[in-house]
Structure 1
Amino acid sequence: MGYDVEITRNPLFSRKPGPKITLDEWFDVIRRDPELKFFISADAADYGVDTALWTAHPNGEESASALWCFDGQIVAKYPDEPLIRKMVMLAARLDADVVGDNGEYYELDEGGALVSGEIETVPAFKEQQNLIRLGSILYGGGSAKCDVFLTRIQEASYDSTNKIVPTAFAMKLNYYSWYLGFITAINENRTKDGASLIQFGNAAERRARDIDFLIAYSEKHPDQTFYHAVCALVRHYKDNPAS
Structure 2
Amino acid sequence: MGYDVSISREPHPWLDAARPLLLFRPEVVRRIVEEDPELQFIPDKNNTGFGDILYLTGQDAQDVDCNQEGLWFKPDGLTAKYPSEALMKKMAQLAVKLNAHMVGDNDEHYFLDENDDLQSEDDPELGLCVIGDAGRRYQLTIDGLLKNLNELPEYLAENIESFSKEEREKFNIVHKKKDNSGRIYGLGATKCDAYAKAYDAKNNYIVSLFYTYYQGVVSAFNYLNDDKPKDIVYEKNDRPTFGQNLLFLLEYCRKCPEHSFISACMALISLQHDNQK
Q: TM-score range by the shorter chain?
A: 0.5 to 0.7
Correspondence 1:100-111 to 2 at 5 A? 100-111=104-115
Q: Distance in 2 between matches of 1:66 and 1:128?
A: 31
Unaligned runs of 5+ residues in structure 2 are 14-19, 130-137, 145-162, 174-182, 185-218, 257-267, 273-277
What residue in structure 2 maps to residue 128 of structure 1?
A: 140
**TM-score (normalizing by structure 2):** 0.48
**TM-score (normalizing by structure 1):** 0.54
> Displacement, 1:105?
0.7
> Displacement, 1:91?
1.3
1:33 aligns with 2:55: no
Q: Distance in 1 between matches of 2:106 and 2:238?
A: 42
Report the 3-state secondary structure (helix = DSSP H, G, I; strand = E; otherwise coil) of the residue aligned with 2:96. helix
> Displacement, 1:92?
1.6
1:212 aligns with 2:228: no
Report the 3-state secondary structure (helix = DSSP H, G, I; strand = E; otherwise coil) of the residue aligned with 1:102. coil
Correspondence 1:192-211 to 2 at 5 A? 203-204=237-238, 206-211=240-245
1:21 aligns with 2:55: no
Report the 3-state secondary structure (helix = DSSP H, G, I; strand = E; otherwise coil) of the residue aligned with 1:39. strand
What residue in structure 1 maps to residue 17 of structure 2?
A: none
Q: Distance in 2 between matches of 1:107 and 1:62?
A: 22
Unaligned runs of 5+ residues in structure 1 are 133-141, 157-164, 181-201, 231-243
Q: How many residues align?
A: 177
> Displacement, 1:170?
8.1
> Displacement, 1:175?
9.6
Q: 1:127–1:83: structure 2 CA closer, same or farther, 3 Å change rule? A: closer
> Displacement, 1:123?
8.1
Report the 3-state secondary structure (helix = DSSP H, G, I; strand = E; otherwise coil) of the residue aligned with 2:140. helix
Q: 1:57–1:121: structure 2 CA closer, same or farther, 3 Å change rule? A: farther
Q: Distance in 1 between matches of 2:71 and 2:223?
A: 45
Report the 3-state secondary structure (helix = DSSP H, G, I; strand = E; otherwise coil) of the residue aligned with 1:51. strand
If you compute each CA radius of gyration, which structure gives the higher value, 1 or 2?
A: 2
60, 63, 69: which one aligns with 1:65: 69
Correspondence 1:57-96 to 2 at 5 A? 61-96=65-100
1:145 aligns with 2:167: yes
Where has structure 1 moved over 6 Å in runs of 4 or more?
168-171, 173-176
